[in-house]
A and B are shown apart, each in its own frame.
Chain A
């Protein structure tokens, strides 16, 4: 009898695998598409499993390393750009290694569904010289995480598990394996292994190359991870003849490719680095032509060429964006010298209005940007919901670099001599993630940049996670709520103004005063995210059609609750969407907007 299976997303499967695999501690920072791993872990874990949202990915990876050095199994979760932040400890952790199994779950976002860049985390595996596993669906996510712990403990090194948006957010039926108890945790001193001073570090460096060789041979043998699949259409009773075409693929791209090339055998790699050279050579010997279908960079392809094996790859497979069945069907058509003839959006869809993501009705960021729009400033923004302030009608962001960059880029602009006032904006979660050092620097180096924290009391963009300022941990415990004002004061910032952005008059005065002042200042624009609170800010507003003259001034704030299907129709406020923030009311010169009767 088959074991009972559950329909799970890749992220849910990873959470359950961490629990069943005997994890002692789990760490992470929210980032789409990785966030639900820790959320599910916190929901399902027994009391003996510790988990937390760390302030950033570097802290999270270091903490997970500590847990694994002490002998416990640990995981750390983040999105691809998070690994940039955590790259420093990763490089050294590869040297000193771990005792308990440690798996770094990194979710790439090919196609940039919700990311500023498209990165291929396999580059980091090569750079850090650690194994990387690539599950194709939720069942493999479960199995590979469990196996990742074993590999990590066998070689005493961290293992990266790379998912993509499509793996993290797709469901399939998953069978769980028997749970395993947690490791005994007790740190055992061993300075030559755990203290990478140069005298010992040089020996560790040599050990890494030996480890890579052993892992490459191991990867070629582990058929649970790396398999040769015969052509789906082939008669399995017959010995494999030489196939005209063989596919090498990994991750979810292998599943798409299997459907588009059912008539070709496939080398499906779940443990792609260190490269299983023996397996690649064996497979290549059975096919006349080799096509590498990998999502992202041509990492396998370049390595296969370096082995002296000819192959096709990025000459036929797109390098940018997410691979889909359609794009692989186009690859096949290209290979066969024909047109793919896939249906394209119908002509009736050509003039449809777009639906870009927007700030929600009642969002406090809209109120801040709306007030800021009256000043001639350069706005250096950051990562979070407030990045949506760049779109019309607000048009209030001029550049975004990275987490924490809102403050530091603004500082650099002013120091280079930018003649206009420069405003640096970061969110509350971003402030704790990597805004504090930028603030400290602006005080230390006497920056004239004007800094604003848009504090909506939660990590909103990724679906409302707690952070050091919310007073609650991932495990639901009450804790100290870090104060942005107190941290700024401790950094030496003297002018600190706190304002509720819905009070537009007060906010305007503060902005006017602070932008005119010569010295540095910090404005905290504070109002909780109404989507998170799940309640209205104030009574809802409505437009009195008798008073409304259709001047369309209220539409200037870009609130999605104010609807007007065309220019001749007087705007109306959607009664389910309006959060009662009052921003539109102040814009109406004719007094047509008032609170809804009875509220």
Chain B
């Protein structure tokens, strides 16, 4: 069983990642409750999604401090939701900066010490530039599947086949090989970049 909290920015593919995780858990025979926050989030706002699975799950929402895994496609969005993770929980964070318009045109400041904050907050983590690697693999949009691969390491009761079948069911055939490769890379090879 597991509680997975996902965060990112509208348009990054957090909701697809949530669907893949939920499908994989269902494929593995678990009950699933998953929540996706929609609405105005698609206009460049912060987006979160949550997936819970186990032999029986009631609420689709995770209680603060009880997420087993925090997955973030943008690194300050990991810090924003750090309090959702339980002590010792695993953080899968994509090393990507998306500068909000409040910084570009307003007075807000994008922090310069993101890596230091992440090192301090998440002792159990994989902090990796999924977007850069996904671009090398041919499509920056694969970052979300790669991040899913990274966080799958911490969900040991969902077998690899359940993940692959979940991806097969959610992505178009054209991008399937790329998505499977990005997932496998995340699951096996992506390494934490903070020494």
Contact = CB atoms under 8 A, between A and B. Distances in A.
B177 to A, nearest CB: 22
Interface in A247-291: 252, 255-256, 258-259
Contact of A252 (B31, B59, B104, B121): B59
A392 B105 contact: yes
A556 interface: yes
A69 interface: no
A393 B105 contact: yes
A346 B62 CA distance: 17
B80 A357 contact: no
B102 A252 contact: no
Contacts, number: 175
Secondary structure of the A contact surface, majority rule: loop
Contacts of B42: 357, 463
B88 interface: no
Interface in B43-79: 43-46, 57-65, 76, 79
Contact of A172 (B39, B60, B64): B60
B37 A565 contact: no
Interface string B25-39: 010000111111111
B89 to A, nearest CB: 11
B38 A172 contact: no
Contact of B40 (A114, A170, A556): A114
A169 B32 CA distance: 14
A560 interface: yes
A281 B140 CA distance: 60
Given A7-B32, A172-B60, A325-B59, A353 B44 contact: no
Contact of B44 (A252, A329, A560, A576): A560
A325 B43 contact: no
B32 A172 contact: yes
A388 B60 contact: no
Given A32-B38, A259-B59, A342-B64, A356 B45 contact: yes
Nearest to B83: A343
Contacts of A32: 38-40
B83 A346 contact: yes
Interface centre among B36, B46, B61, B108, by most A CB within 10 Å?
Answer: B61
A406 B46 CA distance: 28
Given A564-B104, A565-B110, A166 B43 contact: no
Interface string B105-118: 11011110000010
Nearest to B10: A357
B82 A563 contact: no
Contacts of A258: 58-59
A565 B102 CA distance: 10
B35 A173 contact: no
Contact of B117 (A348, A359, A388): A348
A571 interface: yes
Secondary structure of the B contact surface, majority rule: mixed
Nearest to A557: B105
Interface in A6-48: 7, 9, 32-33
Nearest to A258: B58
Given A7-B23, A252-B59, A566-B110, A357 B104 contact: no
Contact of A170 (B23, B33, B140): B33
B84 to A, nearest CB: 8
Contact of A558 (B57, B80, B82, B105): B105
Contact of B102 (A345, A356, A463, A559): A356
Contacts of B103: 353, 564-566
B73 to A, nearest CB: 13
Nearest to B118: A348
Contacts of B34: 7, 170-172
B101 A565 contact: no
Contacts of A326: 63-64
Nearest to B35: A170
B165 interface: no
B33 A172 contact: yes
Given A171-B22, A326-B64, A346 B44 contact: no
A595 to B, nearest CB: 21
Interface string A340-376: 0011111011011111111110000000000000000
Contact of B76 (A113, A352, A562, A563): A352
Given A326-B63, A345-B83, A355 B46 contact: yes
A582 interface: no
Given A325-B63, A346-B83, A354-B108, 7 more contacts: A32-B40, A113-B37, A114-B38, A346-B82, A348-B121, A349-B79, A358-B43
21 contacts: A7-B23, A7-B34, A165-B37, A165-B38, A166-B60, A170-B60, A171-B22, A172-B60, A173-B26, A252-B59, A256-B58, A259-B63, A329-B63, A344-B83, A349-B80, A353-B76, A357-B43, A358-B45, A360-B44, A564-B99, A576-B140
Interface of B: 9-10, 19, 22-23, 26, 31-46, 57-65, 76, 79-84, 97, 99-106, 108-111, 117, 120-121, 140
